[in-house]
Structure 1
Amino acid sequence: MQRYRSSIHMQFDFPDPHLLERYVLTPSHCKVLNGILEGVSEKGDKHSHLLIGPYGTGKSLISTILCQLLSRKFSEEWSKRLLEQAEMIDTQLASLLRHVNDGQITYIPVLVNGKTGSLSKIIIEAVYRALHQAGIHILTPNEASAILSTVERWKQSYPEAYSAFLQFLEERLIGEKEWSKRIRECNEKFMEEFIAFYPSVTAGTEWTYVHDTYFIEDLESLTKELKAKQLGLFIVYDEFGRFLQTFENLDSTKNMQDLQSLAEFADRMDNMQLLLISHKHIRQYASDDQESIRLEFEKIEGRFRHYTLENDAGTYLQLAQEAMRDINEDSMEHNSELITVDSLRRFSLFNEFTSYQLEQGILTSLYPVHPVTLMLLPQLSNIFGQNERTLFSFLSDHERDSLREHIQQQRTGYYYADRLFRFFQLEAAEIKEQSALELYHYVVPYVDSQRPLQHRIVELLTMWSETRMTQKQPVTIPFLAFALGVEDKEAEAELEYLANAKIVRYNSVRGQWELFNGSSIDVEDLISKKSASTSLKLREIMEIMDSHLPVTFILPYEYNDKMDMLRYADIRFADVSEMMDSNDKDWPGDDRIWFIVYENLDQYDDPSAVMQQLNKPYLAVFPTFSTEKVLPYVLKYKITEQLLHDSALLALDTRLKSELNLIREETSLKIRAFVDRYFEFTKHEWYSGTQRVQIKTSSDLEKLISIRLLDKYPYSPVIRNEAFNRNRISAIQRRALIDVIDRLIHQPLEPSLGITGYGPNYLIFATALKNNDYLIDENGNIHCNESFEAIRQDLIRQLNSKPIGQLLELIEIMQNAPYGVRSSVIPLLFVALLRDLWDQLLFYSHDMMVTHLNGASILEMIELADSFEYRYYNWSVDEKSQLIEACRKLKFPVEACSSFLQASEFLLQWLRNLPKFTQVTQQLSKEALWVRDRIRSTEVDPYSHMKQLVADVDLLVAAKEEMELFMIRNEYELEKRILTLTEQPSFDSFFEVVSRSREEAIGKNSKLMTVSNADHLTGGVIDRVAEHLVGVVRADWSDSTEELFLNQIKYEWELLMSDKEVAVSINQTLDVNQPLSKKSQTLYANVKNMLKYAGRDVSKQELKQLLAKLLHEL
């Protein structure tokens, strides 16, 4: 026997005369009938309808009823019964039914069931098929009529083709008359065979037919002819969602255009109705499609009137009462005792029903179905069945474990919920991962087969969890006994047995029993043994309690709304000594609520005395209880955490981790219950500083924190920019902040700092600076509001009182009370409020000055403020005058005279642009050397050394001139020394000697002989000779290089002029390819190594001379 009643297939079930038996008209069906019959009766202008609903809600059934109603297929008896039901539920529907019965137009049902492809082709073929079945012969331009026309044309004009066609039919053992009938019925098999045959008689030409060229035009002509015969079309497209799901990109637009045209055409025709049946709205089928397609779907959907069929509780009960009326009447005669309303009211199953509805609608009318069964049945149907269809199967069919089988087996007694497990055959149902059914299959082998109640309990727990009914009604012992029709003690005893076997467990977190696949390890015994050797420190206890706080901070809404920023007070467990030793600078929040902890009540001290001794404005809560009662749970929690991190233990049983997690969760519940006692505000003593305060609600606590924060941060600047005024900001805000700081440094006088547009950078400038009246005038003076000015004055006082200090000291001024500036705002205010003193501030890290400050480097510097040092130099009027005078005499540009820092950078740049020789030589006056050293030192400490430099402007100017002329003077001195060394009166005579030596002794190896004759004819003789001899341009020399050059000149000149020089001339040709004997090879290697290693410090020129002498002597 079939498990569930089969669904309605409109094309097959439409002629079934028994389909309408036992039909129950429901409110949701009334809405559908009302809407469609309004269009039929000409009271409504909508003839295009969309019926939506999940499986099993009766969409196809109500559509079939409409088809029979509009085609006048109803028997008079059934029509009368439908009218009677309508009069009881909806009088308007009853009026419409009478009007339809008296109407003149009879509708021909055109049924389509889930077909896909071209919409126009599907509709035209369906219309043609419906007309043929109704015996109405009106030619329609479809493919079937085109095939028949083709065959008729062959018969009249092409006898050879017709003869081939008759042979084609003979091979298939079918006559022409029967074949034509099948074609008119649009039989796809016969049509496809003809299309395959067609090319054999047309010289290979394929069959072509345009299905949708005149789609709407043909329908219009057809409906006009039908209207003349008082007929109409009722097109019903069942499973329309299947058609939408098979759209292809190329066809979707065309099909949607056809659907829109069809809907518009139906609305303007008096004798045509269109009904589409789907599981969801048209637009939902395009959710993953292109945007254009989705918009097109939404537009099309607007052409239809929508109806939704849903399974509401009232309809469900009404259908159940009707379906089991005969069973109920028979069972009530043999019923011994019904469940009372009071016993049902103990559980949250039917809270929406009144007592009368419970008694009459459920307990009486639906007996012997148990109320829990009735609650569970639709939920299981949604998952494992087919909604209302399953309901009728259960109530009406004689299937195994159905209601009727129950009546046959036992005349009295309730049908309890656990039997639904077998009715739905959940033992063989598809198992989803981590589902209750999966857990059932794990534990059911361990259930005692000799105790049937255990099986019933496990089956009910499985179904209750699988349907998520635990959210509506937890599975307690009283509920379990009620659902299974047993005593509480009996259910409790079986649960205890199952719990010992680790098949079920009581979840104290949710307060219910549930299936449980426990491990093979006795976890409780393991925890008990570890408890004996595990200790707990007070700080550990408080940390575990901290992790169980229901809220870890309190938001002061009044303060935050007033200041338009986010501050909060964090909550922390501590003992009295820890609170006394704490520093509010280390708190993560802006304020703190101390939850005082006592290990035992002997530690309890008078809270007033404690706060007097502390003498700090802390907010503390003093309870009247200790942690003694919660300590076992805290210890168990700690041990459970340790076990969860023991990989070797967890490897023993894969189920152990899950079991430990459950134990930890239950232990956390106990700890959390203890922690929650601190939030019973009126039961504790609250102190704000030395003053006791009354806190009754969380709202009182929020208001108190708002007052405390207003007292703590009275001068906190108002910055109405939530995205920026916080400790952590996004990357976009950070880039915007860097841009604003860069503009503050480089163009502070520009209107709006030169920011254009209204991006994040402008929003930071406007909310943080402009709205606080921040302005730098033409003289560099800063103007701002009261809160900014207070911060600024504190920063200046710190700089004046401590010119050198840690950067963190300046940051903490803004960060701490009474300002409490957020971390992201501090870099901006730091630069903005000290912008007029910016050139007098230097920053150092490990004694290295930070140069070229910009927005990014300032952010990094402030984030690592404890690693940086600031140095502030108070610039006097005399120092300013001295600098201006020095810059005037040095002819520096105006921007270099604005500060010592700018002047030092300009001087450093000037010095670095001088030749390297000038920068390193000691051949300067003592004064020039002192000035050069001071200029270099300004890179580390510009203010101190610039003060020394500008104190004697004339000395600075003279030294600068001396260094700029050094290369000219050095060239002149080198000329003199060379001529002295060579004893020549001039360079002309020097080059004459060199030239003469080159002609006389070709064997001489002095480098002077390779100096070009033209070198002395142009300027820069010294530079060219120097580079030729030492290979380094004079501008890159040092004093040592100069000494080397002079020594080389001396040596080369002596080599050139030496009378002992031997001119070696070898006229014979040497054969370098002459093979060497072993002895010669050894001699060669020894000489080579000796020259290579022993002559490492000898110049190449001397080595060459040595070899020449050896060659000459040999």
Structure 2
Amino acid sequence: MSIYQPSINIKYDLGKAELFNMFVPNTSQLSIIASILEGILKSEEKSHTIVGPYGAGKSLVGALTGTLLTANKRSKVTKQFIEDVKLVTPSMQSIYEDLLLTTKQRWLPIAITGRSGDFEDLIITSITEQLHEQGIEIAMQTEAKQMQAVITRWRDEYPSTYQQFTALLTQEVASFEESLLKEDEQTMEQFKSYYSELTAGAVFVAQHEVPFIEQIENISKQLQRKKAGIVIIFDEFGRFLQSVASDNVNTTMQAIQDLAEFVNRSNNMGLITITHTGLQQYFANTSFDKEELERVIKRFVEHRLESDSATFYRAAHKMLVTDKSYEISDAYIEQEHHNIAKYNLFPELTPEEREGAIIKGCYPVHSLAISMLPALSNTLGQNDRTLYAFLANFSKIAPTGNRYHVDELFSYFYPDQATLYAVEELKYYRLAASYKLTPTSMAIVKAITLLNIVNSLYLVDVAFLSYALGSTENEVQQAIDELERTKLLRFNIFAETYELYIGSAVDIATVCEQRKLATPITVQLREKALTQTLDTLFYLPYKYNNLKSMTRFITNVVKINPQEDLLSTSLDGELVYALFTDEQRKNNFITKIESQPSKILLYCISQINTAKFIDLVDDYIILEMLAEDKELLASDANLKVELAIEIQSKRYEIKREIDKLQQFKASQQWFSNGQELPPFTSQIQLEDWLSDKMFEQFAHTPVIRNEMFNKANIPNVQRKAAITTLDTILEETFDGTFETKGFGPDYLLQATVLKRQGYDCTDFTKLTPELQEVRSRLLQHIEENPKGKILDLFMILLGKDFGIRPPLVPLLVGALLKDRWGEMVFYSNGFAVYTLTAENLYDILEQKVTMYEYEVYELNEQDKATLTHLNELFFSTNVLLQPNRLFNKLIGWLRELPKFTQLTVQQSELAIEFKEAIRLSEVDALLALQQLQAFTLNQLQEVKRELEQFIPHIKAIIQEQAIEALGLYEDNSEALEAGMRNSPEFAKIVELWRNEQDWLAYSITQLVSIQVEDWSDVTHETYLTTLLQIKDITHEDDAIRIIVGDQVINTVSELELSTKGKVIYNQVSRIIGAGGRTLTPDEVKYILFKVLQEQ
């Protein structure tokens, strides 16, 4: 038997009979060969592409096709091939006979292998050179003209060469040139001979200036005259495409398209290209137009060639080369049949084929090793090429003749030691090699590494490893124990298989125990961990939800040893899975919940004994804590991964027990509202019960078809829409008409929540029955509780019978109480809240604020008259505003008045009482209203006028007081002159007064630095006192006077310095003392004078 040739070179192997000896026929390859032959010989599909992965046999198929096409139809090779086809697929025998035995045309092969360069030159040159080698001479279309040009150049530029040329001729030069112009083949061949002789053996090659397709057409015509055709086989065509420069892509693809189109039209040409992927992949990252690429691709018939593992299995024994014959016992064959069936090896083969081709035929290669070879070769080698190379060289690979197991394939695919340290997949092997493990342990690492590389689905357990390695189960178990100790192997409880991993240097068990001793683990932590492992965290009452167009659900939680009735934290209810560590606790709890109604919707009491796995839960909690310990994780790079594995394992073990809670077993006990229920047998039955319960508990829930608002939480944009809508409704001027346009969230909310519910703030009888009931309950509550908490109003909608989702509650409360909203006063911690906005209402609900209260009142006719008068007088409208709104506006009006007007008591008694009433309204608007009822309309008008005109009035009074204090009279000039000499401030005021300038404003600015509008009564008194001091300073004999000329510009009274004064004096003294050393005494004195002058 011939040894398998590991690779094919189209150019050198084409036509060899040995190709058929190494060919193992299979249906896929035979179909492709037949399709290509039929296209070239009998149809207009003469351009073909063979696509397939490395080693799949593409080159072999191309070489076989070319050889069959060009071989003699009566040759032994052709006849033997047809016989082989008959053995594999008898139905194809007649097809090949019709194709190969009836063709009359002579076909010549043109083989090209992965060359680079200009496509047109590559094709033309390959055709002319290879036809020349096969004894066929082709005259290129411009060859004769170029020959004549050479003769002319010799004549003009190289006379000696021309003389030698003419000496070789047997006829006149003119006659020779005339024959050339007629493209006489004999003359052209004679010139080529002369050219070689004159140029030291150089071959004449014409330059292809004629368009590419014209040259191809010229070649085709010349071959047709010779009754011949050519088949161009371009192997590694993909490599050529990758070498095409980006700026030459368009030209090259056009040439390929033109060639394919011409070949398809011709009757003596064929084109076969061989690539690893389709043309699309080669030009995916280029600028070549996608539509143009599609046009090129459509010119070729594409044939996909894939590796066929079944063919390999059937043919492997034929290729396997061993140096020994083996005797195989019946017991071994029977055991192998059992193992092959157990691990589902070779499902493509019949039992007879498994025994003949695998168990006996491939011995001593282990069956599992044979089954893995195609996948390993596909990933690590070159598919079939590597497979057959392994079989052909097996006697060298395993010269001992012993059984060849899976782990030994590791050395075959990774023979290079350098590779072992470069490939990521081999990290486990590298680590294992450093530990000096036993041979069996190393074999396990090698075997599992190979299984990982091919993504094997085998469950790797002790029995499987024993079979794969040919070791006893005891030997395998000892090796597994060793690998687990070195943290290279672990058992994955999810997949129930052993897997390689790299553990940390940290002893997790010890660290876990130490942390457990130092960390108190509460029942709440255990309950949270158990709840998180539930498969189903919610159950839904589907029938109820469909009818009400909303999503209600109950939350599932786990509780350990619950001792008292629990409070539900879910909007719609909770299902509590109650676990107990002993029987007595369980019985006591059942007795308790049977004796009194529970706030929990549903209890399920299981027979699971929590005491059995409580330690497991604690380990899980501690491991979760360790996984969050950054300092611990930093101690070892592999610790995080190992902890994650441990956490998953613990969680899986817990989950196996907890899953029993939701399996609806007959042993479970169910309780609701103090009554035991028949056990639920399925989730559907439970959900039907929940629907009935929801109809009972939330009978009057309005149907609101707005999915966004039928949730516990809504996006911020929806919340803003609700706030905007509610603010609009709460406006006094709102008459039920929404001005919202478009189809945004505001519009959708108003349409679904209000308009479709029949909402009309002027006629509440149009409301749907459900909202009628909600409004009725709200009105009943405020009548029975005229003073209460706003949150209590919200709880009506959230609670039993309604169960309305929180985002809708403030909106509906405000909308349904619109007609009573104006009769309510609001307080926060006892202080009146004039403007309770929609934002406030949503905050009250979301933050469960209890300090906000309401109070409902009824206005009598006198109240209404007073409110109307006030609104008309102060704001020029005759709309009846409610007290809190009106007083809020009055407070704003008062605060816009000057500060002096607001604070002074230098006003009439009525004005002061009016201001006090407004301030009282911040605490109690109703009491403030009662106080203002004592005012007549005239009195109110007078008070308003007095307050608004107070500043001009008080300024006149201040001016009179200042004139009197300073003595600013015309007949008091002598006293004024004396005062002016003693006081510069006084002198300036008198000067302004005499010049009829604003002396009062100057005196106010200089003495108190505050405008009259911002005064208080204290400021007023301070101003008058200071004026008197200016006047009286002229009578102080002990004052220190600073005189410039005959004018006293300033006076200083001697006094005891304060602590701060002493500090400043010491600092100034030091500065003068230090700096004065370089200054004259007069300069120092002048500096002090300037400072004093500026004060």
Asked if residue 912 in structure 1 is aligned to residue 895 in structure 2, the reply is yes
Corresponding residue for residue 132 of structure 1: 129
Structure 1 residues 70 and 635, CA gap change in structure 2 (3 angstroms): same
Contact 2:20–2:81, Cα closer than 8 Å, also in 1: no
Corresponding residue for residue 992 of structure 2: 1011
Corresponding residue for residue 67 of structure 1: 66
Query: d(CA) in 2 for partners of 1:1080 and 1:773?
Result: 93
Instruction: Show the 5 A alignment for 1:698-737.
Output: 698-723=683-708, 725-730=710-715, 733=718
Question: Aligned match of 1:961 in 910, 920, 945?
Answer: 945
Structure 1 residues 630 and 967, CA gap change in structure 2 (3 angstroms): closer
Report how far residue 596 of structure 1 moved.
1.7
Which amino acid is the alignment partner of residue 1039 of structure 1?
A: D
Structure 1 residues 371 and 1031, CA gap change in structure 2 (3 angstroms): same
Asked if residue 397 in structure 1 is aligned to residue 393 in structure 2, the reply is yes
Structure 1 residues 911 and 380, CA gap change in structure 2 (3 angstroms): same
> CA deviation digits over 1:501-531, x for unaligned, max 9?
6654444443233446566777667878998
Corresponding residue for residue 626 of structure 1: 609
Query: d(CA) in 2 for partners of 1:642 and 1:1033?
Result: 67
Contact 1:30–1:90, Cα closer than 8 Å, also in 2: no
Corresponding residue for residue 534 of structure 2: 549
Corresponding residue for residue 80 of structure 1: 79
Query: d(CA) in 1 for partners of 2:523 and 2:225?
Result: 96
Which amino acid is the alignment partner of residue 565 of structure 2?
A: D
- The percent of aligned pairs where both chains have the same amino acid is 24
Structure 1 residues 923 and 1091, CA gap change in structure 2 (3 angstroms): farther
Contact 2:559–2:576, Cα closer than 8 Å, also in 1: yes
Report how far residue 23 of structure 1 moved.
1.3
Asked if residue 1038 in structure 1 is aligned to residue 1016 in structure 2, the reply is yes
TM-score (norm 2): 0.78
TM-score (norm 1): 0.77
Which amino acid is the alignment partner of residue 950 of structure 2?
A: F
Instruction: Show the 5 A alignment for 1:754-903.
Output: 754-770=739-755, 772-776=756-760, 779=762, 783-802=766-785, 805-826=788-809, 828-837=811-820, 859-860=842-843, 862-866=845-849, 869-874=852-857, 876=859, 878=861, 881-882=864-865, 885-886=868-869, 889-890=872-873, 892=875, 894=877, 897-903=880-886
Structure 1 residues 976 and 454, CA gap change in structure 2 (3 angstroms): closer
Contact 1:927–1:959, Cα closer than 8 Å, also in 2: yes
Query: d(CA) in 1 for partners of 2:728 and 2:232?
Result: 72
Contact 1:1023–1:1034, Cα closer than 8 Å, also in 2: no
Corresponding residue for residue 468 of structure 1: 455
Corresponding residue for residue 1045 of structure 2: 1065
Contact 1:435–1:466, Cα closer than 8 Å, also in 2: no
Corresponding residue for residue 612 of structure 1: 594
Report how far residue 621 of structure 1 moved.
1.9
Report how far residue 395 of structure 1 moved.
1.4
Report how far residue 668 of structure 1 moved.
3.6
Report how far residue 709 of structure 1 moved.
3.6
Report how far residue 441 of structure 1 moved.
1.9
Corresponding residue for residue 677 of structure 1: 660
Corresponding residue for residue 349 of structure 1: 345
Question: Aligned match of 2:678 in 665, 680, 693?
Answer: 693
Q: What SS does structure 2 have at the residue aligned with 1:604?
A: helix
Contact 1:624–1:684, Cα closer than 8 Å, also in 2: yes
Q: What SS does structure 1 have at the residue aligned with 2:18?
A: coil
Which amino acid is the alignment partner of residue 22 of structure 2?
A: R
Contact 1:716–1:820, Cα closer than 8 Å, also in 2: yes
Q: Name the stretch that deviates more: 670-679 or 997-1006.
A: 997-1006
Structure 1 residues 950 and 245, CA gap change in structure 2 (3 angstroms): farther
Question: Aligned match of 1:590 in 572, 576, 580?
Answer: 572
Report how far residue 789 of structure 1 moved.
3.9
Corresponding residue for residue 24 of structure 1: 24
Structure 1 residues 229 and 1078, CA gap change in structure 2 (3 angstroms): closer
Report how far residue 964 of structure 1 moved.
1.7
Report how far residue 442 of structure 1 moved.
1.2
Which amino acid is the alignment partner of residue 759 of structure 2?
A: L
Asked if residue 600 in structure 1 is aligned to residue 599 in structure 2, the reply is no
Report how far residue 1054 of structure 1 moved.
7.3
Q: CA RMSD in A?
A: 5.4
Corresponding residue for residue 54 of structure 1: 53
Q: Name the stretch that deviates more: 490-499 or 239-248.
A: 239-248
> CA deviation digits over 1:107-159, x for unaligned, max 9?
66666655678xxx3244234323332236667799x9999999788556665
Corresponding residue for residue 569 of structure 1: 554
Which amino acid is the alignment partner of residue 960 of structure 1?
A: K
Q: Name the stretch that deviates more: 476-485 or 221-230.
A: 221-230
Corresponding residue for residue 175 of structure 2: none
Query: d(CA) in 2 for partners of 1:352 and 1:489?
Result: 33
Q: What SS does structure 1 have at the residue aligned with 2:743?
A: coil
> CA deviation digits over 1:1023-1080, x for unaligned, max 9?
677567755443333334444444555566778999999996379xxxxxxx999899
Which amino acid is the alignment partner of residue 511 of structure 1?
A: E
Q: What SS does structure 2 have at the residue aligned with 1:922?
A: coil
Query: d(CA) in 1 for partners of 2:475 and 2:865?
Result: 105
Structure 1 residues 157 and 101, CA gap change in structure 2 (3 angstroms): farther
Corresponding residue for residue 465 of structure 2: 480
Contact 1:260–1:300, Cα closer than 8 Å, also in 2: yes
Corresponding residue for residue 459 of structure 1: 446
Which amino acid is the alignment partner of residue 126 of structure 1?
A: I
Q: What SS does structure 1 have at the residue aligned with 2:603?
A: strand
Instruction: Show the 5 A alignment for 1:942-953.
Output: 945=928, 949=932, 952=935
Structure 1 residues 1034 and 463, CA gap change in structure 2 (3 angstroms): same
Structure 1 residues 1044 and 629, CA gap change in structure 2 (3 angstroms): closer
Report how far residue 49 of structure 1 moved.
4.7
Question: Aligned match of 1:420 in 388, 409, 418?
Answer: 409
Corresponding residue for residue 513 of structure 1: 498
Query: d(CA) in 1 for partners of 2:105 and 2:930?
Result: 111
Report how far residue 95 of structure 1 moved.
2.0
Q: Name the stretch that deviates more: 876-885 or 625-634.
A: 876-885
Report how far residue 963 of structure 1 moved.
1.2
Which amino acid is the alignment partner of residue 913 of structure 1?
A: E
Query: d(CA) in 1 for partners of 2:123 and 2:987?
Result: 114
Contact 1:31–1:307, Cα closer than 8 Å, also in 2: no
Query: d(CA) in 1 for partners of 2:741 and 2:286?
Result: 41
> CA deviation digits over 1:11-47, x for unaligned, max 9?
455465534432133333345345544533555x655
Query: d(CA) in 2 for partners of 1:649 and 1:294?
Result: 55
Contact 2:6–2:389, Cα closer than 8 Å, also in 1: no
Contact 1:68–1:74, Cα closer than 8 Å, also in 2: no
Structure 1 residues 502 and 1007, CA gap change in structure 2 (3 angstroms): closer
Q: What SS does structure 2 have at the residue aligned with 1:133?
A: helix
Structure 1 residues 1081 and 700, CA gap change in structure 2 (3 angstroms): farther
Which amino acid is the alignment partner of residue 497 of structure 2?
A: Q
Contact 2:560–2:580, Cα closer than 8 Å, also in 1: yes
> CA deviation digits over 1:907-928, x for unaligned, max 9?
3443333333323332222222
Query: d(CA) in 1 for partners of 2:123 and 2:596?
Result: 91
Report how far residue 392 of structure 1 moved.
0.8
Structure 1 residues 522 and 1009, CA gap change in structure 2 (3 angstroms): closer
Report how far residue 372 of structure 1 moved.
0.9
Which amino acid is the alignment partner of residue 32 of structure 1?
A: I
Structure 1 residues 903 and 671, CA gap change in structure 2 (3 angstroms): same
Question: Aligned match of 2:910 in 924, 927, 933?
Answer: 927
Query: d(CA) in 2 for partners of 1:1000 and 1:703?
Result: 105
Q: What SS does structure 2 have at the residue aligned with 1:439?
A: helix
Contact 1:843–1:868, Cα closer than 8 Å, also in 2: no
Contact 1:111–1:236, Cα closer than 8 Å, also in 2: yes
Contact 1:320–1:395, Cα closer than 8 Å, also in 2: yes
Which ranges in structure 2 are unaligned for 5 or more consecutive residues?
A: 166-195, 1048-1073
Query: d(CA) in 2 for partners of 1:138 and 1:563?
Result: 88
Contact 1:896–1:906, Cα closer than 8 Å, also in 2: no
